[in-house]
Amino acid sequence: MNRNPTRETSTERLSRLLSLVPYLLARPGILVTEAAEDLRITPAQLRKDLELLWMCGLPGYGPGDLIDLSFEEDTITVSHDAGMRRPLRLTGAEATALLVALRAIGDTPTVADPQLRSAVDRAVAKIESAVGQAQPAGVVVGLAARESARAEAARPILQEAITRHRAVGLRYYTASRDEITERVIDPLRLLIMDGRSYLEAWCRRAEDVRMFRLDRVDRAEVLDEPADPPADAARSDFSDGVWRQDDAPHTATLMLRPDARWIAEYYPVQESAELAHGCLRVTMKYWDPSWMVRLLLGQGGEAVVEGPPELVTRLRDRALAALQADQDL
Amino acid sequence: MSTVRTERLVNLVLCLLSTRQYLTAEKIRTLVAGYPDGGGDDAFFRMFERDKAELRDLGVPLESGRNSSFDTTEGYRIARRDYELGDIDLEPDEAAAVGLAARLWDSPDLTGAAHGALMKLRAAGVEVDQNVQAPVEPRVRAADPAFAPLLAAVQNKQAVTFDYRKGTQHEVGTRVVEPWGVVSWRGRWYLVGFDRDRQAPRCFRVSRVVGAVRTVGRAGQVDSRPPDLDLMTMVSRNGDWSRPEIPALLWVAKDRSNGLRRHATARPDHPGNSADGDIIEIEIYSPESAASWIAGFGQDVRVLEPEALRKTVHERFQGVLESILGEEPLR
């Protein structure tokens, strides 16, 4: 796997060029736009690729030797393939990425119902036989989350609502504010991320797309009214995790002693610097100061807050009040 | 890679696919468009070596051999049956499953590889709709910097060495590991392999690898993997989740500490209930993590039982104050 981004793109391009002729051969007269979308490139890039292929062919490089493509309106057809009729075999890494993902899905009952499981099993068998890869992959993914009874109870109800396109009445615990609220949501999809189950939904209270952790759903009820999320309710990008911490308004600077280092593993942190004695200094964004105070109070001084000053004051006052209350008991 | 080189490599693949004879480098130089006629032999051979390496990186099965025992130099060809992806015909529901699988990864390495696989399947004529809805959409991230080199080491069967922080201890130790596999379990990635210093199989949390992963020895040398190895079991049996539950009795202020209340049972019979707060009972697994959770709510919660938990929570508050005031505050 090449980590050098410029070279990686060129290698990817060569790989794509080798697939392009057989791809087009299987789809005579395909629209340029459709092919570009399938191959995850722009139509302009696809035209560049085709111009390059047009110059390639067999030794002799005469009219009957070169790859020939015909354009009509916005469609492409291969008229001569110069012997490139099938794609190259999958590499070990490609086969692994696909087969491991398929097996992970097939092996997780909460993801794959019996029909999907059967489709997965058949797809795995066909791909394995086409690829000719029998060796163990060396990558295993368990998707199953350690689910609470609450998440188990909520899932079938939410699934039903999604299938029937119904709105849902939700009683939900918001950890950042330590609040339990009732709201009506239009469910979009269920997800499993980082070993936890989530519901992505349009929240009519927040008038925005929200992620709900299934183990924080205290009650879910399929309503009689149809789900009606705005057509442009955007699906989130999760490459940086579920919570878009980058947009959060507050930033704390924390010095994490060894017992509190888990914070930097569990929550996204911005900057991180190793200090002596196994300590780590991090900056961490957060939405709600009361949430940060709760996190830090629980660390018993293993996470030392260095700023902002109002967070230090608030934490100190909370700790003092708690000790006072203990003494009054 | 320049456009000129890309074009030359496509020509090279086409040429070697079309020949049954092994073609020597010299022959290739004269046949394939894109190799310079002039210039020194050294420059050509260096260029040809780089081209061969590039094709092998892509997985092109380049064969070398001689056409007859009279040939003095080796030639090259690509056997079509080794090059071409076999026939594959997926039913619509199978193709939909493949589309869902290709969306699983949120990791630069695995996402790229899955898309590469998908492109080849499409080129083989399979129609994969990437927008098929699934009942549950699973996502797996692999953002740790150590992930890609460890995955590569597993796939190349090559030993690795790296610095590793064990648990919350702050010492960092150097490990030498024969990698057997990487496993994602409950949202975390683990490396499973044979630890050469400890002479035993071990699991490592990928996020606790410190700094760079370096390879040891040559690729293809790791053969210690047991044939009946179950990677997932190796990782999952490491955690003991069957700890007994202990009941704890808490006072919680009215309308506060909802995070605790939703896991608790009310004790309406208890004399401690009043207008200010309620007595609740909660099952705890680990006194340490329960103390952190409970202490988070500050003066809105007080532990009545067990005494050990009350004391630990109290120490949390003291620790916080010490960390801020730098001295030993209230006793």
The per-residue pLDDT for range B129-155, each reduced to its tens digit, is: 777 777 788 888 888 889 989 998 998
On whether both B203 and B164 belong to a single domain, the answer is yes
On whether both A256 and A313 belong to a single domain, the answer is yes
On whether both A252 and A305 belong to a single domain, the answer is yes
In a domain, A240, yes or no: no
Chain A neighbors of B133, CB-CB under 8 A: 189
On whether both A58 and A108 belong to a single domain, the answer is no
On whether both B152 and B232 belong to a single domain, the answer is yes
Tell me if the bond preceding A114 is cis, omega within 30° of 0: no
CA B6 – CA A83 distance, rounded (Å): 18
In a domain, B221, yes or no: yes
On whether both A253 and A304 belong to a single domain, the answer is yes
Tokens standing for A219? 């009650």
Output the furthest CA–CA distance in chain A (Å, rounded).
97
In a domain, A258, yes or no: yes
Domain limits at B108? 92-141
In a domain, A204, yes or no: yes
In a domain, B135, yes or no: yes
Record: contact B96-A119, CB cut-off 8 A: yes
B267 interfacial to chain A (CB closer than 8 Å): no
In a domain, B255, yes or no: yes
On whether both B215 and B269 belong to a single domain, the answer is no
On whether both B102 and B157 belong to a single domain, the answer is no
CA B33 – CA B28 distance, rounded (Å): 9
On whether both A117 and A166 belong to a single domain, the answer is no
pLDDT band at B170; cut points 50, 70, 90: low
In a domain, A138, yes or no: no
CA B78 – CA B64 distance, rounded (Å): 9
On whether both A76 and A103 belong to a single domain, the answer is no
On whether both B161 and B222 belong to a single domain, the answer is yes
On whether both B154 and B231 belong to a single domain, the answer is yes
Chain A neighbors of B225, CB-CB under 8 A: 136
Chain A neighbors of B54, CB-CB under 8 A: 11, 14
Q: Is the ipTM of this complex over 0.85?
A: no
Q: What is the DSSP letter of B159?
A: E
Domain limits at A169? 149-226
Q: How far is B279 from chain A (nearest CA, A)?
A: 14
pLDDT tens sequence across B272-324: 888 899 999 998 887 788 899 999 999 999 999 888 899 999 999 999 999 99
Chain B neighbors of A94, CB-CB under 8 A: 59, 113-114, 116-117, 120
Q: Which of residues B236, B266, B292 is at a domain's end?
A: B236
Alpha helices (runs of H) in chain B, residue ranges in sequence order: 3-18, 25-31, 41-57, 80-83, 92-102, 108-123, 147-156, 231-236, 258-261, 287-295, 307-325
Q: Which of residues B180, B209, B236 is at a domain's end?
A: B236
Record: contact B83-A88, CB cut-off 8 A: yes
In a domain, B264, yes or no: yes
Q: Which of residues A196, A226, A256 is at a domain's end?
A: A226
B18: how many CB neighbours lie within 10 A of its CB? Answer: 17
Record: contact A98-B118, CB cut-off 8 A: yes
pLDDT band at B168; cut points 50, 70, 90: low
CATH number at residue B168: 2.30.30
On whether both B136 and B176 belong to a single domain, the answer is no
Report in angstroms the alpha-carbon separations of B325 from A275, A311, B17. 21, 14, 75
β-bridge pairing B136-141 and B159-165? unpaired
In a domain, B241, yes or no: no
pLDDT band at B238; cut points 50, 70, 90: low
B17 interfacial to chain A (CB closer than 8 Å): yes
Nearest residue of B to residue A116, measured between CA atoms: B97
In a domain, B50, yes or no: yes
What is the Cα A159 distance to its own chain's centre? 20
Into how many domains does chain A fold? Answer: 4
On whether both A213 and A153 belong to a single domain, the answer is yes
In chain A, which residues have pLDDT < 70? 1-9, 133-136, 145-146, 234-235, 237-244, 328-329
Into how many domains does chain B fold? Answer: 4
In a domain, A287, yes or no: yes
pTM (global) more than 0.90: no
Interface with A, mutate which of B18, B294, B317 (most A CBs under 10 A): B317
Tell me if the bond preceding A308 is cis, omega within 30° of 0: yes
Record: contact B120-A297, CB cut-off 8 A: no
A309 vs B166, more confident: A309
In a domain, A140, yes or no: no
Record: contact B155-A53, CB cut-off 8 A: no
In a domain, B331, yes or no: no
Amino acid at A48: K
In a domain, B330, yes or no: no
Quote the Cα angle for A70-A76-A82, to 5°: 60
Burial zone of A3 (CB within 10 Å; 0-12 exposed, 13-18 middle, 19+ buried): exposed
Record: contact B59-A122, CB cut-off 8 A: no
Burial zone of B294 (CB within 10 Å; 0-12 exposed, 13-18 middle, 19+ buried): buried
Considering only the beta carbons, identify the residue of B11, B106, B186 that sits closest to A238: B106
Q: Which of residues B57, B83, B109 is at a domain's end?
A: B83
Nearest residue of A to residue B29, measured between CA atoms: A59
On whether both B117 and B44 belong to a single domain, the answer is no
pLDDT tens sequence across B30-68: 999 988 877 778 889 999 999 999 999 899 999 999 988
On whether both A158 and A216 belong to a single domain, the answer is yes
Q: Which residues pair with B284 in a beta bridge?
A: B246
B169: how many CB neighbours lie within 10 A of its CB? Answer: 12
Averaged pLDDT score across all residues of chain B: 88
On whether both A108 and A74 belong to a single domain, the answer is no
CATH number at residue A9: 1.10.10
Q: What is the DSSP letter of A78?
A: E
Q: How far is A207 from chain B (nearest CA, A)?
A: 23
Interface with A, mutate which of B26, B98, B136, B155 (most A CBs under 10 A): B136
On whether both B250 and B290 belong to a single domain, the answer is yes
CATH number at residue A171: 2.30.30.530
Q: How far is B114 from chain A (nearest CA, A)?
A: 5
pLDDT band at B244; cut points 50, 70, 90: low
Residue at token pair 């898309």: B115
On whether both A216 and A259 belong to a single domain, the answer is no
